[in-house]
Structure 1
């Protein structure tokens, strides 16, 4: 199972296409998907494409977002939690790897939590950022600016794989 973190709000078509390609590729590899449980934007696109390609999509969504993000009621398994923390816990437990696509503050928060937990030795699962268009360039520039003062070290940065191609991202997940 691959946990995919990505946007759940309005995004350009190029990002929806990327999400669809990811979902299809997961199905082609016979892998399952763990998503945030919404059926809108990139989150919905990856789940829809994964399902169409034969993947087993599991959606995990907090009650408060069931209507806001329009829950993916077509998911093979839909888990409704009480809180966001419970959502993340379920996603992390089910995942064999974390794949991060373009997104905003929610995506960034989920990614950094999975990254930090891996760095602290709480899991040894791959954390991969698929960034074909440079969406995260500014974020990585900022991380590099923290390095001289010791706020981010080589070991922490080594826990992240940032790649430009879908094939390389999936190879690093599996």
Structure 2
């Protein structure tokens, strides 16, 4: 059985009866109309990890509403936080001892928030909730819970133990 006869026998009748379509043009149009028919019948299934398309090709792209905290203010805060870690860490080296609880608190919160923002950016870039509707929000909430847990741990370390500045001084002189 020839290839064209085999393809004609597997395609719907209204496509197989078109003798004017030959070669690749016929095959492309035949497969496109078959795919459209399958889509109308709901035969396409969700592929895990694949994109989720809503609407048709001619529908406009939906954008999230504008938010100032996700734009330039957010970027400026990230840069300010990253730049403030340099003098805070330098001050922790200069001031050895736990006589500076404010410095311990600032350094602890700054390090944790800097890490949180970095991991959150990675989640937004690579595990976005539009592409991964269940995994994206789950990992985002897991990151938030972890950040709160680390903040509690840093607070306890600063108040009930030696504190971050003393830890840095001991690690530097070790």
Q: TM-score range by the shorter chain?
A: under 0.3
When the two structures are superposed, what TM-score results if normalisation uses the length of structure 2?
Answer: 0.24
Larger radius of gyration: 2
Structure in which a larger fraction of residues adopt helix: 2
The structure, 1 or 2, with the larger RCO (C-alpha pairs under 8 Å, 6+ apart) is 2
> Whose strand proportion is higher, 1 or 2?
1
User: What is the TM-score of this pair, normalised by structure 1?
Assistant: 0.24
